[in-house]
Structure 1
Amino acid sequence: MPPLPQGSVPLASLAALFADETRAAFVLALLDGRAWTAGELARHAGVAPSTTSEHLGKLVAGGVLSEERQGRHRYVRLADAGIAHLVEDLAARAAPAASPPPRGLRAAGAGRAMARGRTCYDHLAGRLGIAVTDAMTARGLLRQDTGFALTDEGLGWFADLGIPLVPAKGRRPLARGCLDWTERRPHLAGLAGAALCRHALDADWCVRIGSERAVKVTARGERALHDVLGIEAARLELV
């Protein structure tokens, strides 16, 4: 039997980490960019603490999650932005074109809120993320024709708003496209996407709602998005 191609074993091992519904539920929850305790993830996924510990151990060992301990608590988060991008991309490609209707009014409301606006690790997604991306592209701040890239006008726009684009450790690009699993189109990610999302939350343009990743545009945010990008409030609603 000929030897396996180089890299096939690590790829299969990484894929196996996502091939479990409980572990998939964990990494999807962690797309909110925050650190969760093992107990919080156990309650979220509806599994026993012992089962949670076993799954988290595999995800940490496989480089999908990083962990830290504070006293008796164990916190985990996605290892880096690259893992977050991979999870969101997999979710987008795995989602059926016609999803079954949610069960109950609460689930339906949560689904609409996530589709309207949410965070994808550390940048904006959903209808909100797409609206921002489209507006930046239409105004010449962002190019998508040869991959995502900020123009000189885009760099000036961030500077005018007082949003620093400080390079982080590693080789994270300034701008990149991330496939949106509800809109089926790419939204802005990378350093620029993260900086804009952080500014939107800090400036009270958006607020987090519920226990999921959903965010809601505030009245101040509606005015700001109209002023700086020309986005009409109706553009952010579901159709």
Structure 2
Amino acid sequence: MREGPDIAHIASLVGDPARANMLTALVGGTALTATELALEAGVTLQTASSHLSKLTEGGLLKLSVQGRHRYFALAGPNIAAMLEAIMGVAAVVGTRRVRPGPRDDAMREARVCYDHLAGELAVAMFDRLLAEDAIAETADGIRLGRNGHSFFAARGIDVGALQGLRRPVCRACLDWSVRRSHLAGSLGAAILDVLFKERWARRQKKGRTITFSPEGRRAFAQAFLPEAVPPWPEEQRLVASI
């Protein structure tokens, strides 16, 4: 018998279509009930309960009980990163499930990936952070760059406080729609918090899509996007102010 992690067991948990739909519905970092996940998976509540038990016992989901309600969420950011990576592979070699309409474009542009920003804007921001030496690439992954403390302090983020947390400050996460890296870790989560705190953007009530106001677009671009690449031409996808 081979030694090491048993990826076949994890693959079998994720590989069932109903369970895959449930996990995908939770990538945005929200917690959902069994009834809501049954609807996402297109199965009965009884069948959903069986799937949720397997996912929880397998360590992919965690259960929270509030009063009479039971909520399921991904067990951690590493599970979300795994799912995003699988989505990236599926986008290249797998069967595509097309959902036409402007919501697709909006989701590719900006969305929540567990607790951080993903999509085209997140990838562009990642490039800017590398260019500014706010983060740096190493053989072992992503680390804080030489200018990291000053760069993020100017944008209201205390990197020193993040370094005291258990989770990594910087981590590269494969973006399934762009198939390049965006920023995860506690720093990625802190940047998303800034977007919401400053009211530059809001999350749509249903789903993972993030919508920027015109003023928020300009503020975000000035703070985090490369100046050489105008992110939003005036004629493209303007939305109503928050």
Given the alignment, which residue of 120, 142, 147 partners 1:148?
Answer: 142
Superposed CA RMSD in Å reads 2.4
Tell me the alpha carbon deviations over residues 200-230 of structure 1, each in whole angstroms, 9 at most, x when there is no partner.
1222122112521111122232221233235
Contact 2:88 2:177 in 1 (8 A): yes
Return 71-80 or 218-227, whichever deviates more. Answer: 218-227
Aligned equivalent of 1:5: 2
Task: Return the offset for 1:233.
Answer: 3.4
Aligned equivalent of 2:200: 205
List aligned pairs for 1:148-227, cutoff 5 A. 148-165=142-159, 166-167=162-163, 170=166, 172-209=167-204, 211-227=206-222
Count of aligned pairs: 230
Aligned counterparts of 1:195 and 1:67: Cα–Cα separation in 2: 25
Aligned counterparts of 2:143 and 2:76: Cα–Cα separation in 1: 21
SS at match of 1:233: coil
Contact 1:131 1:235 in 2 (8 A): no
Aligned counterparts of 1:235 and 1:139: Cα–Cα separation in 2: 24
Given the alignment, which residue of 115, 118, 123 partners 2:111?
Answer: 118
**Superposition TM-score, scaled by structure 1 size:** 0.87
Query: Larger relative CO (CA 8 A, sep 6+): 1 or 2?
Result: 1
Aligned counterparts of 2:70 and 2:184: Cα–Cα separation in 1: 28
SS at match of 1:161: coil
Contact 2:133 2:146 in 1 (8 A): no
Q: Which runs of 5+ in 1 are unaligned?
A: none
Aligned equivalent of 2:240: none
Aligned counterparts of 2:225 and 2:16: Cα–Cα separation in 1: 43
Contact 2:126 2:183 in 1 (8 A): yes
Task: Return the offset for 1:235.
Answer: 7.5
- After TM superposition, what 4+ stretches of structure 1 lie above 6 angstroms from structure 2? 235-238
Contact 2:136 2:143 in 1 (8 A): yes
**Percentage identity across aligned positions?**
37
The aligned amino acid for 2:16 is: D
Q: Which runs of 5+ in 2 are unaligned?
A: 238-242
Aligned counterparts of 1:120 and 1:137: Cα–Cα separation in 2: 20
SS at match of 2:27: helix
SS at match of 2:64: strand
The aligned amino acid for 2:152 is: F
Contact 1:117 1:215 in 2 (8 A): yes
Given the alignment, which residue of 3, 19, 31 partners 1:23?
Answer: 19
Aligned equivalent of 1:63: 59
Given the alignment, which residue of 132, 138, 148 partners 1:139?
Answer: 132
> Are the structure 2 counterparts of residues 31 and 235 from structure 1 closer, same or farther at C-alpha, using a change threshold of 3 Å?
farther
Task: Considering fraction of residues, name the structure with more helix.
Answer: 1
Contact 2:201 2:212 in 1 (8 A): yes
The aligned amino acid for 1:132 is: M
Given the alignment, which residue of 84, 87, 95 partners 2:80?
Answer: 84
> Are the structure 2 counterparts of residues 66 and 129 from structure 1 closer, same or farther at C-alpha, using a change threshold of 3 Å?
same
